[in-house]
Amino acid sequence: MTTLPGYRSNRIVELMQERGERRDAHWLEEALQQAAMLELATLPPYLCAMWSVKDQNAQVPKAIKRIVFDEMSHLGLVGNLLATIGGAPRLAGQDVVPVYPGPLPGGVRPGLVVSLSGMSKETAELFSRIEEPDEPLAEARTHTSIGAFYSAILDAFRARPDLITGGRQLVKDMAHHGEGNSIVAITSLADVEQAIAVIKEQGEGTTASPANPHPGPSPELAHYYVFREIFRGRRLIKVSENPDRWDFTGDEIPMPEAFPMATVPPGGWVTSGAAIPDPDTKVLLDQANRAYSTMLRALEKVWQTDDATVADDLMTAAVIEMSRIKIAALKLRTRQLSDGSGRTYGPEFLYTDA
């Protein structure tokens, strides 16, 4: 890709305003790059909230963990969608890596500020706003959703199926995380349609049901409704039929006990004034940032090689770096800020050059 609008651009909004006849190969390449940035942007906030919970086997962090695996699969599928038309996602670099607190990439959800902090009702509300469909089946609103952006991408593929080459495809069996979680090769329009259906429906559900049509071992709701359940503190259940109607009146979902992980300030903790970390905490923050950056560089290279074995090795290396971020995060969540507030540190997810 010769030019790449910055992370804080309004490029998705601009792409959606392009007329159908102008949504050519270049439009599709740009749109998929923005989609990759969008999928990446959700991971750090979800991970921080999940890791802040004291009992990682509790109901809420387990639900978020399933969502995190879905989002990772979505990122892989977007990478394959871009590679099949001859592109490669940019995932490493100051211009493409999310900055927190800040907006979602491309101008999606204007006014929404995404931050990194511990698990709370406020974070559940934020996450549901990220995943919100055009017309939720409960608490209805009207706006343009991430799903609408993916629908536009699908329309562009349908108009130009000749662009699909099947080149540089990452294949990863992740069925143990759910039936829609495997990263599959995109070699036909049918593959495109299935991949985009998985991405949209796992996040937003369908117009007929809030259920995730591509669940794990047990039935699941789509991401939006999972986060609304956590926020409302109740299960979403069907309360009437013909027409079907759902409401948050089911069993109670208690907010889990979490470490009081504070919101990461702009530029990270070294810019926070009274909460500047001590040397030992700074080491942990740096370890997490280096692992995050190394992970992104490995992921970016996955779609730059024609050797499937090399691509698989790079993906394995990225998974190892993710585990290093987690190790640092679980230590940081117990270390209180130096400002005496009683709140704790969390990972910054700052990109650093090699």
**Same domain as 179, residue 118:** yes
Q: Which residues of 199-213 are buried (b: 16+ CB within 10 A; e: fewer)?
A: bbbbbbbeeebbbbb
**Same domain as 285, residue 319:** yes
**Same domain as 175, residue 43:** yes
Residue with tokens 């995109």: 186
- pTM recorded for the entire structure: 0.93
Choose the final residue of a domain: 199, 233, 258: 258
Would you state the pLDDT for residue 212? 77
In a domain, 303, yes or no: yes
**CATH number, domain with residue 44:** 1.20.1260.10
Would you state the pLDDT for residue 207? 59
Would you state the pLDDT for residue 6? 66
Number of domains present in the structure of the chain: 2
Residue 214 to residue 211: CA distance in whole angstroms: 9
Where in the sequence is the domain holding 268, given as residue range(s)?
261-354
In a domain, 89, yes or no: yes
**Same domain as 347, residue 202:** no
**Same domain as 331, residue 244:** no
**Same domain as 295, residue 234:** no
**Same domain as 169, residue 153:** yes
Q: CB under 8 Å to 142, separation ≥6 — which residues? A: 134, 135
Would you state the pLDDT for residue 204? 72
Would you state the pLDDT for residue 132? 85
Burial class (CB in 10 A: 0-12, 13-18, 19+), 11: buried
Would you state the pLDDT for residue 243? 83
Would you state the pLDDT for residue 4? 65
**Same domain as 225, residue 147:** yes
Tens-of-pLDDT digits for all 354 residues of the chain?
445 676 778 899 899 999 888 899 999 999 999 999 999 999 999 999 999 999 999 999 999 999 999 999 999 999 999 999 999 999 999 889 999 999 999 988 888 999 999 999 999 999 999 988 765 545 544 445 688 899 999 999 999 999 999 999 999 987 776 667 889 999 999 999 999 999 988 877 665 578 778 776 677 888 999 999 999 999 999 899 888 899 999 999 999 999 999 999 999 999 888 899 999 999 999 999 999 999 999 999 999 999 999 999 999 999 999 999 999 999 999 999 999 999 999 999 999 996
Choose the final residue of a domain: 230, 258, 286: 258
In a domain, 162, yes or no: yes
